[in-house]
């Protein structure tokens, strides 16, 4: 894993503090990069309104301390964390990023961790507020902070059995080059490779497999329902359950008894890509638009290939009847729309729960202060002394009115509902990806069939007209 230096974030020219914070958070919270927000974790703030909360804390800091800085003021700090492809899942990367932020800020600053999965390597963007949670001081960058960031990040990598950059230099190879030439296999990868080799030798049962692994230098010890392995030079053990699909005890036993096939995770050859069906080209329209004879020759060959693929698809899926093709296409598009609406509804409710949970906590924490404020006859002096708590309490009450909440639910119940919605959303996303692909293919195939039928009908009509002449 590689980490960059701490990057202090400033307001910049032509931007307010709120705009600057919003710009960086909008980028790191991009739903297309974070699996629609699933890979975002916030601490000391609420993700959807983190920019407002960051700004509010800075206003409180100014009110309490009276300290004001100019254009060089640091409004937040940014750290990027990148992982070797295949070593870590998005969820594990996010968890490591959260642990890094908590340790480095000592839980004194609000932060947000966004895990991006839009590149070949999974990476974290960690943003924390320069103002502390109690709004009395600010985080100050220090001499050697880059080294401290790297050391903490490497420590977390070692604890989780991940690769690290050995003796990094300030300037040198890019991260992509390092991935290809310098990355050392992690402990998990070494154990996976050893298991793969042992399974290839055909042991009769799990005990025989463990004996082969011991011959390879791995000591095994059962820990509860799992088996932990250690090799010479390892500080920490690696358990079977952390190796991924196909490497659990039950999976290995099934593979050894012939009930399933063991597929090595790191040597599995990618399945050959199935040619996708594309829309036929309207050659005549393209020629009228100025395309030449060369384009017409290419388009003719392209259309022949696509018709062959279209016919192959119809034959494989038993859709030689046009009525059946139309019905299945309509059903696929309806299923796609249904799943999309289901996910949107879950996301809407999850956002409501997140906001409601925050306001319930703030309401309970500031209730005594607001009661005292009311008993003081809404004294301006009392308000100025407890403005932050009063504003949070009033904001919570307004939110309850907007959400039409008559009786406050328990935070525990909200968390349970949120977890259930999250699981439902993840399952729906898996189905949606399949439904999108199926609908896209069916719509393309049907469009090609319609095009051929239309051209065939037009050709027959022209022949009849020519015969009458």
8 A C-beta contact, residue 158 and residue 237: no
Note the helical H segments in 143-282: 145-159, 175-181, 187-200, 206-215, 249-256
The closest of 8, 22, 131, 127 to 67, measured between CA atoms, is 131
C-alpha–C-alpha distance, residues 193 and 245, integer Å: 14
pLDDT for the residue numbered 62:
86
**In a 3-state reduction of DSSP, which class is residue 174?**
coil
Sign of CA dihedral 203, 208, 213, 217: negative
User: Which residues are bridge partners to 124 per DSSP?
Assistant: 81, 115
State how far the Cα of 455 lies from the Cα of 467, in Å rounded to an integer. Answer: 18
CA atoms of 231 and 217, how far apart (whole Å): 6
Q: What distance, in Å, lies between the first and last C-alpha atoms of the chain?
A: 78
Strand partners, 230: 219
Q: Which two tokens stand for residue 226?
A: 């799992």
In which residue are the tokens 């705009």 written? 19
- Spell out where 44-190 has E strands: 74-82, 109-116, 123-132
Tell me the C-alpha distance between 128 and 148, whole Å: 16
Q: What is the pLDDT of residue 436?
A: 86
Cα dist. 70→13, 74, 96 in Å? 12, 10, 35
Query: Residue 345 burial by CB count (10 A; 0-12/13-18/19+): exposed, middle or buried?
Result: middle
Contact 218, 231 (CB under 8 A): yes
Closest C-alpha to 53, from 369, 353, 346, 354: 354
Sign of CA dihedral 133, 134, 135, 138: negative
What stretch of H or E contains 390?
helix 387-402
Q: What is the pLDDT of residues 296-337, one digit of tens each?
A: 777 788 788 888 888 888 888 888 888 999 999 999 999 989
Burial of residue 282 (number of CB atoms within 10 Å: 0-12, 13-18, 19+): middle
Residue numbers in the chain where pLDDT is lower than 70: 1-5, 71, 86, 120, 165-184, 266-276, 286-287, 291, 295, 456-469
Q: How far is CA 170 from CA 3, 167, 173, in A?
A: 12, 10, 10
Does this model's pTM top 0.85? no
- pLDDT at res. 177: 52
Instruction: Give the model confidence (pLDDT) of 359-375 as tens digits.
Output: 888 888 888 998 998 88
Q: What is the DSSP string of 33-96?
A: TTTTTTTEEEESS-GGGHHHHHHHHHHHHHHHH-----TT-EEEEEEEEE--TTTS-HHHHHHH
pLDDT of residue 127: 94
């Amino acid at each position: 894993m590689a980490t960059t230096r701490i990057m202090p974030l400033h307001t910049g020219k032509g931007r307010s503090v709120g705009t600057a914070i919003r710009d960086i958070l909008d980028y790191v919270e991009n739903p297309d990069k974070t699996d629609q927000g699933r890979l975002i974790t916030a601490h000391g703030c609420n993700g959807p309104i983190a920019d407002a909360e960051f700004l509010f804390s800075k206003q409180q800091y100014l009110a309490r301390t009276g300290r004001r800085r100019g254009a060089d003021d640091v409004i937040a700090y940014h750290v990027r964390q990148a992982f070797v492809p295949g070593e870590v899942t998005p969820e594990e990367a996010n968890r490591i990023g959260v642990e890094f932020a908590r340790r480095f800020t000592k839980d004194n600053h609000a932060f947000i961790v966004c895990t991006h999965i839009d590149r070949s390597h999974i990476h974290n963007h960690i943003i924390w507020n320069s103002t502390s949670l109690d709004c009395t001081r600010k985080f100050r960058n220090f001499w050697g902070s880059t080294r401290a960031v790297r050391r903490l990040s490497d420590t977390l990598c070692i604890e989780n059995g991940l690769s690290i950059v050995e003796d990094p230099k300030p300037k040198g190879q890019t991260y992509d080059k390092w991935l290809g030439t310098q990355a050392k296999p992690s402990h998990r990868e070494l154990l996976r490779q050893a298991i793969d080799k042992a399974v290839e030798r055909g042991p009769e049962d799990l005990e025989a497999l463990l004996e082969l692994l011991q011959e390879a230098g791995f000591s095994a010890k059962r820990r509860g329902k799992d088996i932990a392995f250690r090799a010479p030079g390892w500080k920490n053990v690696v358990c079977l359950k952390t190796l991924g699909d196909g490497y659990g005890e039950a999976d290995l036993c099934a593979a050894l008894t012939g009930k399933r096939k063991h597929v090595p995770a790191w040597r599995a050859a990618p399945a050959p890509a199935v040619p996708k069906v594309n829309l036929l080209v309207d050659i005549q329209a393209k020629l009228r638009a100025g395309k030449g004879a060369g384009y017409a020759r290419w388009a003719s060959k392209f259309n022949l290939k696509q018709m062959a693929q279209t016919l192959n698809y119809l034959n494989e899926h038993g859709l030689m009847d046009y009525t059946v093709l139309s019905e299945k296409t309509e059903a696929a598009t309806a299923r796609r729309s249904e799943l999309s609406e289901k996910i949107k509804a879950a996301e809407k409710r999850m956002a409501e729960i997140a906001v409601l949970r925050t306001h319930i906590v703030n309401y309970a924490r500031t209730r005594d202060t607001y009661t005292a404020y009311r008993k003081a006859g809404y004294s301006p002096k009392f308000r100025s002394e407890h403005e932050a708590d009063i504003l949070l309490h009033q904001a919570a009450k307004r939110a309850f009115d907007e959400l039409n909440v008559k009786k406050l639910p328990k935070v525990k119940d909200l968390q349970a509902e949120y977890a259930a919605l999250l699981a439902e959303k993840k399952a729906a996303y898996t189905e949606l990806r399949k439904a999108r692909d199926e609908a896209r293919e069916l719509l393309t195939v049907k469009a090609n069939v319609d095009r051929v039928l239309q051209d065939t009908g037009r050709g027959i009509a022209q022949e009849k007209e020519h015969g009458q002449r």
